[in-house]
Chains A and B, each alone.
Chain A
Amino acid sequence: MKISKKVEEIQPSGIRAFFDLVLGMKDVISLGVGEPDFVTPWPVREAGIYSLEQGFTSYTSNKGLYKLRLGLHRYLKTKYGLDYSPDEEMLITVGVSEGLDLVLRTIINPGDRIIVPQPSYVSYGPVTELAGGLPIYIDTTKDNFKLTPEKLAKAIDKKTKGIILNYPVNPTGVSYRKKELEALSRIILKHNLICISDEVYGDLTYDFEHTPMPALPGLKKNTVYFNGFSKSFAMTGWRVGFACGPKDIIAGMTKIHQYTIMCVPITSQMAAAEALVSGKRFVEEMKREYRRRREFVLGELNQMGLSCHSPQGAFYVFPSIKNSGLSSLEFSQKLLKEEKVAVVPGTAFGACGEGYIRISYASSMESLKEALERIKRFLSKS
């Protein structure tokens, strides 16, 4: 059977085979995991269990449980001073991933261009293409992995509809200070672009306060803000995210959402609502732990001569392996075979990720210590 041309044209990930190799191997220490090593805090899990006991097994409204939207309204208001109407400007989605798909399908006309700074999370390009758009990649490797206003301005043309911004960035851990965001926002406003802002790691910012895009002057009407429970509350498997934005865009997204997803599972939404109530202390505790691990990993990497910029958020470091003379994929394969440590080749996040690997420090100190010891041994051999 012939599948559609559009789907056929989507490039399969070049490192699928490497992933299969990792998954097929035993006793591997994996620093390739893109999710917290903590389990969801107990009060949150307990709320999920309780909701099942109480018989909450039905659909919810398409937009999501009102209780949850109300909780999010409060959360965004207190934390960032953002005021999104729970009725018209908010949608609960199956993780940020679904939300990104929805927004791109909502705003893109065939041929519209979407700017994607790279290295970036893997889905931005393909999902843009599936929605009929054309991703325009900007290589940020020479600018400390940050999108500069100059490069953004240069990439914009008449067909540019929007930009997907993500910070703290998966895979580099880089984030932007308010000033840097303001500089970008002026260009976004000047060209009236839609800013799709994936801030799922926002709560995991270590060196300064995280500033959401819609909190910048004038940006709210141009921004669709995305966040979720996966990373900061350690709730990846529950699949709960949310989108906040101008009401016409949210209405468009809700239209697609109601025909494709209907609603996010009620158990997950109930648990998420509880996370907003009792999760803060756990988020703070996990954040402190991640920050310590970040320092530890950076210290070790620098000591063994893997040069690495200092990431400000998320739980990734993105060291250069150029000195090894190997490609990202070769380095990762060799490291896996010789020392049984799994990392993700930088090329998974765009061609410009060549020469880098992504190391996740969402692992216990014990595994980090052992894994870094093995990497050190690996480097001294080659």
Chain B
Amino acid sequence: MEEILEILEKDARLTPEEIAKMLKKKPQQIRLAIKKYEKEGVILKYKAVINKDLIRDEDSGVRALIEVNIIPQKDAGFDKIAERIYSFPEVTSCYLISGTYDLLVIVEGKNIHTVSSFVAEKLSCLENVRGTSTHFLLKKYKEDGVILKHREENKRIAISY
């Protein structure tokens, strides 16, 4: 992977000036490269990784992983029906999977009822959906390479040779 991407994936808040210093390039070069990545859709978005478990908020919501079995459509295969599913704002992720079911759909809702009614009233009713199996998420340990824990304190002694 391009080193700029490796850097941004770790910390998207680094400025082009800082990245330029790290890579011994000119800030303008970095700015142009980032622009290009954004335009090509390589870089899609910048966002903070939030540990929602720490937000003592009634509305912080629930998540469910839903296995969906679908009947593929002629010509469009799985893509068309996948699109109908992932277009719902409740759906945060959607993957085509090999194995006993077809789509893995991750749904986020305010509470267990909102998610259940999404499954019952929207997802299951879709014409090409043969069946669903819903798993509610109980605890998140690690997400997208980030271990969801308090920041660890420094364990090294402050000065050494």
Contact = CB atoms under 8 A, between A and B. Distances in A.
A181 interface: no
B22 A292 contact: yes
B156 interface: yes
A35 B155 CA distance: 11
Interface residues of B, number: 17
A342 B156 contact: no
Contacts of B157: 23, 33
B50 interface: no
Interface stretch (A88-96, A220-228, A294-302): A294-302
A34 B156 CA distance: 10
Contact of B156 (A35, A123, A293): A35
A19 B22 contact: no
Given A288-B6, A292-B7, A365-B14, A32 B160 contact: yes
Interface in B1-48: 3, 6-7, 11, 14, 18, 21-24
A190 B3 CA distance: 46
Given A288-B6, A295-B22, A344 B156 contact: no
Interface string A293-336: 10110011000000000000000000000000000000000000
A369 B15 CA distance: 12
Nearest to A123: B161
A23 B14 contact: no
A350 to B, nearest CB: 12
Interface in A117-171: 121-123, 170
Nearest to A21: B159
A37 interface: yes
Given A288-B3, A288-B6, A292-B7, A28 B22 contact: no
A300 B155 CA distance: 27
B76 interface: no
Most buried by B among A19, A32, A123, A296: A296
A348 interface: yes
A342 B22 contact: no
A30 interface: yes
A369 B18 contact: yes
B18 A342 contact: no
A365 B15 CA distance: 12
B138 interface: no
B158 interface: yes
B158 A37 contact: no
Contacts of A348: 161
Given A288-B3, A365-B14, A23 B22 contact: no
A28, A33, A39, A123 interface centre (most CB from chain B within 10 Å): A33
A22 interface: yes
Nearest to B158: A30
Contact of A170 (B6, B14, B155, B161): B161
Nearest to B17: A299
Given A288-B3, A292-B7, A33 B21 contact: no
Closest 9 pairs between A and B when the two form their complex, measured CB to CB: A299-B21, A32-B159, A292-B22, A30-B158, A34-B160, A296-B22, A296-B21, A34-B161, A22-B159
17 contacts: A32-B158, A32-B160, A35-B160, A37-B156, A121-B161, A122-B161, A123-B161, A292-B23, A295-B24, A296-B18, A296-B22, A299-B21, A299-B24, A344-B159, A348-B161, A366-B11, A369-B18
Given A30-B158, A288-B6, 19 more contacts: A22-B159, A23-B157, A28-B158, A32-B158, A33-B156, A35-B156, A37-B156, A39-B155, A122-B161, A123-B161, A288-B3, A292-B7, A292-B23, A295-B21, A296-B21, A299-B21, A365-B14, A365-B18, A366-B11
Interface of B: 3, 6-7, 11, 14, 18, 21-24, 155-161
